[in-house]
Chain A
Amino acid sequence: MSLAKPLMRGLLAKRLRFHLPIAFGLAFAAAVAFKYTVTEPRKRAYADFYKQYDAVKEFNAMREAGVFQSVRPSGE
């Protein structure tokens, strides 16, 4: 049997050289994907909501529905 001598050293370094760039790349890609699929739409949704938001109108609607304890609907 004249097998070649197997690799004895540098096994961890070899593995890290291969896997670390992949790990960092995937983590970065996950972060970027999350940013552009979740956080950016969410920021836009909030911005759009508050652009047309009339707080007083909403308050009165909620009051008439009877959800508050401090102010009852105007009828009572």
Chain B
Amino acid sequence: MTAIFCKLLQICNLVVIFFTGLCDLVMLATRAFSLIGKRAISTSVCVRGGHGVAKVEDYTLPAYFDRRETPLPDIAYVQTLTPEQKALKEKEKGSWAALSNAEKVALYHLSFKQSFAEMNQGTGEWKSVVGGIMFFVGLTGLVVLWQRKYVYGPVPHTLDPEYKQQELQRMLDMRMNPVEGFSAKWDYENKQWKK
């Protein structure tokens, strides 16, 4: 029963395409069908071993996309044309100077969904991103504060004020950076910082 049905379909396809329906020739079949403007492309029925044909998934077929980097998508935007649109397509085959501006725009919108200006528009997503960044940085600050209070142990004894004083005195004694740096700011005669 299904074998007869498949055979019928095959004959129909042979009428449209004049080479045999091998599975690899689906692409050529696609182009042949797009001339007639069919979106639902039934693959040339390829009956192997008496089984049927796998259903063609939508995502396996060429898709339309608006992308700045690749200006020409795989297929036109409008696949099924109304009679007026078909008439317009016929008129397009003649001299383009005969087309009015409105007709040219209509033809453009048959082939493309968004203009370059529309597709390149900014979205304002950056505001959410910056807001999110600030929020998480703030949250991290709270976490750090909590850690300082409840997680960290005491600092080393070398950070005690007396110890730091002795450190500074030693730095001045050995004349560290006496030209432009630390010891340059100390007045050795009067034992005080230079004014």
Bound together: yes
CA distance A58 to B178 in the complex (A): 11
CA distance A65 to B171 in the complex (A): 11
User: Shortest distance in angstroms between B86's beta carbon and chain A's nearest beta carbon?
Assistant: 24
Interface string of B93-118 (1 = CB under 8 A from A): 00000000100100000000000000
Contact (Cβ within 8 A) B178 A49: yes
Contact (Cβ within 8 A) A1 B170: no
Q: Does B180 contact A (CB under 8 A)?
A: yes
Interface size on A, residues (CB 8 A): 11
Q: A1-B101, A1-B104, A61-B188 are in contact. Are A66 and B179 (CB under 8 A)?
A: no
Q: Which residues of chain A come closer than 8 Å to B178, judged between CB atoms? A: 49
Q: Which residues of chain A come closer than 8 Å to B188, judged between CB atoms? A: 61
Q: A1-B101, A1-B104, A61-B188 are in contact. Are A66 and B180 (CB under 8 A)?
A: no
Q: Which residues of chain A come closer than 8 Å to B180, judged between CB atoms? A: 42, 45-46
Q: How large is the interface on B (under 10, 10 to 19, 20 to 34, 35 or more residues)?
A: 10 to 19
Q: Which residues of chain A come closer than 8 Å to B173, judged between CB atoms? A: 62, 65-67
Q: Which residues of chain A come closer than 8 Å to B170, judged between CB atoms? A: 67
Q: Residue A58 contacts which of B101, B175, B179 (CB distance < 8 angstroms)?
A: B175
Q: Which of B101, B174, B179, B184 is most buried by chain A, counting CB atoms within 10 A of its CB?
A: B179
Q: Which of A18-68 contact B (CB under 8 A)?
A: 42, 45-46, 49, 58, 61-62, 65-67
Interface of A (DSSP majority class): helix
CA distance A62 to B178 in the complex (A): 13
User: Shortest distance in angstroms between A65's beta carbon and chain B's nearest beta carbon?
Assistant: 4
Q: Which of B69-128 contact A (CB under 8 A)?
A: 101, 104
Contact (Cβ within 8 A) A45 B179: yes
Contact (Cβ within 8 A) B175 A46: no
Pairs across A and B, CB under 8 Å, 21 listed: A1-B101, A1-B104, A42-B180, A45-B179, A45-B180, A46-B179, A46-B180, A49-B178, A49-B179, A49-B184, A58-B175, A61-B188, A62-B173, A62-B174, A62-B175, A65-B173, A65-B174, A66-B173, A67-B170, A67-B173, A67-B174
New A-B pairs, 4, CB < 8 Å, besides A42-B180, A49-B178, A67-B173: A1-B104, A49-B184, A58-B175, A65-B173
